[in-house]
Chain A
Amino acid sequence: GNSVTQMEGPVTLSEEAFLTINCTYTATGYPSLFWYVQYPGEGLQLLLKATKADDKGSNKGFEATYRKETTSFHLEKGSVQVSDSAVYFCALLIQGAQKLVFGQGTRLTINP
C-alpha cells in the first residue's frame, strides 16, 4: 500500500539553527510528494511540492528533494525562525488517485 513515515517529534531548536525533518514513503505508483504546515488552530497550508524524481520543491526558505532511490523527501531549512514553529506533515498523492496520504506529523518548536 501507500504510506508515509516521518521522524518522530517533537523537535525543539534554537533560532537560526539548521532544520531537517525526515520523511520516507512507500508507494505502489509514481507519487507526487508534498510538505504541509499546520499552525496552531489553523488548517493545513501547502508549503512545497515535487512531482517527479530529483525535483526540488522550495518555499519560504524551506527545501525538499524528491529522492526516488531512497524513497525520501526530507524537509530542510538553513536558519529557522520562531515563526516556523508549527506541525509539519509530509504527504503523497498517487497519480490518478483521489486522495492525499499523510504522515503522522512532526511538531517543531523554535526557541528565541
Chain B
Amino acid sequence: DAGVTQSPTHLIKTRGQQVTLRCSPKSGHDTVSWYQQALGQGPQFIFQYYEEEERQRGNFPDRFSGHQFPNYSSELNVNALLLGDSALYLCASSLGQGEAFFGQGTRLTVV
C-alpha cells in the first residue's frame, strides 16, 4: 500500500504565477483534505473533497481552488501566487470521516 502520495515534493514559483499540486489518496479512501502549514506553524485546513464535491472550506481566499477526480485523486490550485503562500501543503485522505492519513507534503516556495 503506497499510502498518500503527493507531487511534486518541492517547487519554486514566481509571484503572480499559478500552481497545481496533486494528491493520490491511500487505497480505499474516498475523502481528501488539504492543509497549509506555514513555517513553524500548525497545519491550517483549506478544504475537503468527497464524491468530487467540495464539502467544507476553511478561511482561504478564492485563489485557492481544488478538484477531485472519479478515482478520488485530487488537485489543489493556487492562482496569483503571493509570497505568503510559501508553505508546506499537506494532503490527507480518509474513508469518510475515519482516521486521516497524511502525505509527505509539497514544499512551495514563492519568490
The chain A residues found within 8 Å of chain B, CB to CB, are: 4, 36, 41-46, 49, 89, 91, 97-105
* Number of interface residues, chain B, beta carbon within 8 A: 23
B100 touches A100 (CB 8 A): yes
The chain B residues found within 8 Å of chain A, CB to CB, are: 4, 33, 35, 40-45, 48, 55-56, 58, 90, 92, 97, 99-105
User: Smallest CB-CB separation from B46: which chain A residue?
Assistant: A99
Please give 12 more A-B residue pairs, beta carbons under 8 A apart, in addition to A43-B104, A105-B41: A42-B104, A44-B102, A45-B102, A89-B42, A97-B56, A98-B97, A99-B33, A99-B45, A99-B56, A101-B45, A104-B42, A105-B40
Knowing A44-B102, A100-B100 touch, does A105 contact B90 (C-beta < 8 A)?
A: no
Knowing A43-B105, A45-B102, A46-B99 touch, does A98 contact B56 (C-beta < 8 A)?
A: yes
User: Smallest CB-CB separation from A36: which chain B residue?
Assistant: B102
SS class, residues of chain A in contact with chain B: strand
Measured CA separation A91–B58 after assembly (Å) = 16
